[in-house]
Chains A and B, each alone.
Chain A
Amino acid sequence: MPNFSRRAVLMQLGASGLAALTPGASLAQNRYADLDTQPWSFLDGNEARFLASMADVLIPEDDFPSASQAGVVDFIDLQLAGPYGKGAGLFLEGPFRDGAPEQGWQVDHTPATLIRTGIARLESGDTRLVDLDASEREDFVTRLSEGEDFDLGDVPATTLFDEIWSLVKEGYFSDPIYGGNKDYAGWRMVGFPGAHAYYADLVDKNAPFPAPPRGIAHVPGSSRSASTSRALTGSDADTQQEEG
């Protein structure tokens, strides 16, 4: 298993354009620096940079953090290392044939091999997504989402796009115990109060909900989830999620 430091990857990401692109990136980098002793569980440095760049086109920074600032790359890393990445939710018996879109997933890949293979083929030339400027990145992601002019062998571009976009949204909005939604970034953005849910007295009132979010492992009296750092110890990946 590759053992790249998160910090090294995100430093490079900052150096190669993200910091210039988004004013808050250096802040984010400091946040990631907390984790610089943690190895990636599945990704290698290039994959992480690709995913961070793409995720930040999909969910860029504004008043609320970008996807990578909210821990989405960490989330994806853990997901791909765990049962989900290994295809725990997929029927993978052959034969494999191209299907109609209505027939759904028909590639002979797990999510982990799909993303690994897809990124390797996208990045096989000289250019790296991370090195492109903001409008070029956006253009790249648009073309990928439309499946245009990419020949990725047995990885359909739209399947790859859909899988990454799905993981990015999951990482931005799932409970922080999975490593994303850092400091409840996604939940604060939309106003979702989280896992401690008792609304019998409020459901018929036309009023905003008064309290900040609390996750499954919320630290009482704080604005944080306890498990963010635990979830990021990588080796926990298999026990974080037993399903697929």
Chain B
Amino acid sequence: MATELPKTDVVIVGAGWTGLAAAKELADAGQRCVVIERGDWRHDATNFGAPEEHDELKYARRKEHMIDTPTKTLSFRNNSDQTALPMRRLGSFLPGKGLGGAGIHWNGQLWRPLPSDLQMRSHYAERYGESILDGMNVQDWGVTYDELEPHLDFFDRVCGTAGVAGNLNGETQEGGNPFEGPRSADYPNPPMKASPPLQMFRDTAAQMGYNPFHMPSANVTKAYENAYGAQLHPCTYCGFCERFGCGYFAKADPIICIYDVVKDHENFELRMNSQVLRVEKSADGKTATGVTYIDENGQEVFQPADTVCLNAYALWNVHLMLVSGLGTPYDPETGEGTVGRNYAYQTIAAASVFFDENVWSNPFMGAGALGMTIDDFNGDNFDHTDLGFVGGGYISANQTNGRPINYQPTPPDTPSWGAEWKQAVRESYLHHVGIVCHGSSVAVPENYLDLDPTYKDAYGQPLLRMTFDFPENDRKMSAYVLSKAEEIARNMDNVRAVGTVNRAAEGESYSVVPYQTTHNTGGAVIGTDPATSVVNRYGQMWDHHNVFVFGACLFPQNLGYNPTGPLMGLAYWTLDHMKNDYLQNPRPLMDA
């Protein structure tokens, strides 16, 4: 039998971005918080220092900072006719493990949703007629941009985001993203520098009538004290950013931005190397009573709590709900049930630009969020009449990952090994940039998460099973946005060749092998209708009012942006309603 510990006010599963933010806000509000994290303790100051951290083999290839696949993974298939098989090796996405979660090895590309993204169904229905969404489970989020704005702004000040505002209180600003929703305040820090290819992309895109701007970056550009009083330092453009921790205190991460300011709080307790197995429910099933976990000594322990927060990353939140019997699992046959419904991903394509020897891209000088971007083909920023798809993506020349094991660009038609390959790598490495199309992903009835009938993890629990392929809508979207990126690439000067790759190309299926993004979304979505959402618009479970859910599992469908800005906006929105309403009077915050 599990040992039962004294009750706490709040138990938080996972010590990544959302878990540590929840702990900080709720501890400050007088709640005793216990954070349970399955991975190791670590810190930027002691664990991520250069030059040792600058080890591509160890971190980028062997993925030292990431989830331990032998212990915990999921199974995968493209469609229900296949048998799902375990994802035996990390590839397409790289979830985190340990203090800070995936927030320590992220890039720091820090976006906000477009106002219309959050009302996707009603927005498209109004502009184009509802039939444009036929066959899709596209939904409104149930929360608007104006409601999230103060929380998006707060997270910008937690991270010290660098950028150029495009819309300040409704006034369009020179040099920013003219499509973005109104900001109540400017970015806390000036934008990143622009490397030569980024300058060229900016000039060419502007000549073509587009609106280039610096990608919003949580790689900090100046010494900065964040909203919690933590100190960040300027980025060195070291180029060991995504997949690595930042020993320079320059990449905003949950450890230096939040953990350091809550770790000594009397209401904060962190338990590392502890795997939560399930959320326990009361006899009537209406509330959660706490969580059962395996502690660092391998003992099963029950931690009772008044409130349970799920902050285990999008996929593992859904897994915990399914193994704990929280909510009703989605049934693709009937379309009923909500847990696991609306799983979506990110649709990635890219143009690969090969310069002549006059352009030195020096790809090893880079940063996770060093990019020059246009948003002209994202969301509904362009007219979708007769295009045959909804959604879009940003197009961005990025200089983030020029490390030589993973980055060996070669022009189209180069053999993939041998003498010619070697020569091409040598000629291309210092004179190349990638232009990514970072596309949205609609939810469709066929893509979902449930439990695998065969395979079990090291704790004896069924693996999460992912059934996913790129919907037809997104294949069309990706081809369209890629054609725009290719056009920009071909219009740039000093270009000797342009290649393309499209992960969602017609005729190809989604694969878990090549890295794409760690932007898994949906499965426990937010909304205003319990028939189509797991949580109400405050992030509170419809079926168990003392369970609050955080992370990208809340997204009804995925945006053309990276998820952490939007999901942290939602996190602070939820925490605001917990602190100022729910905790004084625990109850369902919306009528079902």
A102 to chain B, nearest CB (A): 4
Measured CA separation A187–B56 after assembly (Å):
12
Chain B residues numbered 441-475 whose CB sits less than 8 Å from any CB in chain A? 454-456
Residues of B contacting A186 in the complex (Cβ-Cβ under 8 angstroms): 404
**B239/A197 in contact, CB under 8 A:** yes
The secondary-structure label for the interface of chain A is: loop
Residues of A contacting B77 in the complex (Cβ-Cβ under 8 angstroms): 100, 103
**B237/A174 in contact, CB under 8 A:** no
**B63/A93 in contact, CB under 8 A:** no
Question: Which one of B8-16, B47-55, B284-292, B378-386 is at the A interface?
Answer: B47-55
Measured CA separation A102–B85 after assembly (Å):
10
Measured CA separation A206–B194 after assembly (Å):
11
**A102/B236 in contact, CB under 8 A:** no
**A95/B454 in contact, CB under 8 A:** yes
Question: Which one of A28-36, A41-49, A58-66 is at the B interface?
Answer: A58-66
**One of B62, B419, B423, B429 near A89 (C-beta < 8 A):** B62
Quick one: given A91-B69, A169-B408, A197-B364, are A64 and B89 in contact (CB under 8 Å)? no
Interface size band for B? 35 or more
Chain A residues numbered 171-190 whose CB sits less than 8 Å from any CB in chain B? 173-175, 177-178, 186-187, 189-190
A52 to chain B, nearest CB (A): 15
- Of chain A, the residue at the smallest CB distance from B513 is A104
**One of B82, B85, B240 near A106 (C-beta < 8 A):** B85
**A138 at interface by CB-CB < 8 Å:** yes
Residues of A contacting B412 in the complex (Cβ-Cβ under 8 angstroms): none
Measured CA separation A186–B426 after assembly (Å):
9
A180 to chain B, nearest CB (A): 9
**B204 at interface by CB-CB < 8 Å:** no
Residues of A contacting B511 in the complex (Cβ-Cβ under 8 angstroms): 101-102, 104
Residues of A contacting B58 in the complex (Cβ-Cβ under 8 angstroms): 241, 243
Quick one: given A87-B70, A189-B426, A209-B362, are A57 and B418 in contact (CB under 8 Å)? yes
Residues of B contacting A244 in the complex (Cβ-Cβ under 8 angstroms): 62, 70
**A60/B419 in contact, CB under 8 A:** yes
B516 to chain A, nearest CB (A): 12
Residues of A contacting B125 in the complex (Cβ-Cβ under 8 angstroms): none
B444 to chain A, nearest CB (A): 18
**A88 at interface by CB-CB < 8 Å:** yes
**One of A64, A169, A174, A177 near B426 (C-beta < 8 A):** A64
Measured CA separation A175–B89 after assembly (Å):
23
**B430 at interface by CB-CB < 8 Å:** yes
A178 to chain B, nearest CB (A): 6
Residues of A contacting B510 in the complex (Cβ-Cβ under 8 angstroms): 102
**B78/A100 in contact, CB under 8 A:** yes
**A193 at interface by CB-CB < 8 Å:** yes
**B70/A92 in contact, CB under 8 A:** yes
Measured CA separation A164–B422 after assembly (Å):
17
**A208/B512 in contact, CB under 8 A:** no
Measured CA separation A7–B511 after assembly (Å):
42
**B404/A102 in contact, CB under 8 A:** no
**B236/A165 in contact, CB under 8 A:** no
- Of chain B, the residue at the smallest CB distance from A244 is B62
Quick one: given A90-B69, A244-B62, are A102 and B418 in contact (CB under 8 Å)? no
A109 to chain B, nearest CB (A): 10
Measured CA separation A57–B418 after assembly (Å):
6
Measured CA separation A215–B405 after assembly (Å):
14
**B57/A203 in contact, CB under 8 A:** no
The secondary-structure label for the interface of chain B is: loop
**B195 at interface by CB-CB < 8 Å:** yes
Residues of A contacting B127 in the complex (Cβ-Cβ under 8 angstroms): none
**B303 at interface by CB-CB < 8 Å:** no
Residues of B contacting A169 in the complex (Cβ-Cβ under 8 angstroms): 405, 408
Q: Mark B401-439, 1 if CB is under 8 A from A, else 0.
A: 011110010000000111100110110011000000000
**A60/B52 in contact, CB under 8 A:** no
Measured CA separation A90–B88 after assembly (Å):
5
- Of chain A, the residue at the smallest CB distance from B92 is A104
Quick one: given A101-B511, A174-B405, are A203 and B50 in contact (CB under 8 Å)? no
Residues of A contacting B236 in the complex (Cβ-Cβ under 8 angstroms): 197-200
Measured CA separation A191–B365 after assembly (Å):
12
Which one of B236, B240, B404 has the greatest number of beta carbons of chain A within 10 Å? B404
Measured CA separation A191–B425 after assembly (Å):
11
**B403/A192 in contact, CB under 8 A:** yes
- Of chain A, the residue at the smallest CB distance from B370 is A203
Measured CA separation A138–B421 after assembly (Å):
14
**A191/B237 in contact, CB under 8 A:** no
**A1 at interface by CB-CB < 8 Å:** no
**A150 at interface by CB-CB < 8 Å:** no
**A204 at interface by CB-CB < 8 Å:** yes
**One of B51, B85, B88, B417 near A59 (C-beta < 8 A):** B417
Measured CA separation A169–B404 after assembly (Å):
9
Quick one: given A198-B238, A203-B195, are A216 and B51 in contact (CB under 8 Å)? yes
Residues of B contacting A60 in the complex (Cβ-Cβ under 8 angstroms): 418-419, 422
Residues of A contacting B405 in the complex (Cβ-Cβ under 8 angstroms): 169-170, 173-174
Which one of A95, A104, A141, A215 has the greatest number of beta carbons of chain B within 10 Å? A104
**B390 at interface by CB-CB < 8 Å:** no
**A243/B62 in contact, CB under 8 A:** yes
Residues of B contacting A106 in the complex (Cβ-Cβ under 8 angstroms): 85, 88
Quick one: given A58-B417, A60-B418, A243-B62, are A200 and B237 in contact (CB under 8 Å)? yes
Residues of A contacting B78 in the complex (Cβ-Cβ under 8 angstroms): 100, 102
**B64/A243 in contact, CB under 8 A:** yes
Given contacts A170-B61, A198-B236, A203-B366, 19 further A-B contacts (CB under 8 A): A57-B417, A89-B89, A91-B70, A100-B509, A103-B77, A103-B87, A189-B422, A190-B430, A191-B429, A195-B55, A196-B51, A197-B50, A199-B236, A199-B362, A200-B234, A204-B196, A206-B358, A206-B359, A208-B362
CB<8 Å pairs between A and B, sample of 22: A89-B62, A91-B70, A101-B511, A103-B77, A103-B87, A104-B87, A173-B404, A189-B422, A192-B429, A197-B54, A198-B237, A198-B238, A199-B237, A200-B235, A203-B195, A203-B370, A203-B399, A204-B195, A215-B51, A241-B58, A242-B64, A243-B58
Closest 9 CB pairs of A and B: A195-B51, A199-B365, A195-B54, A102-B511, A190-B429, A174-B57, A197-B238, A173-B404, A243-B64
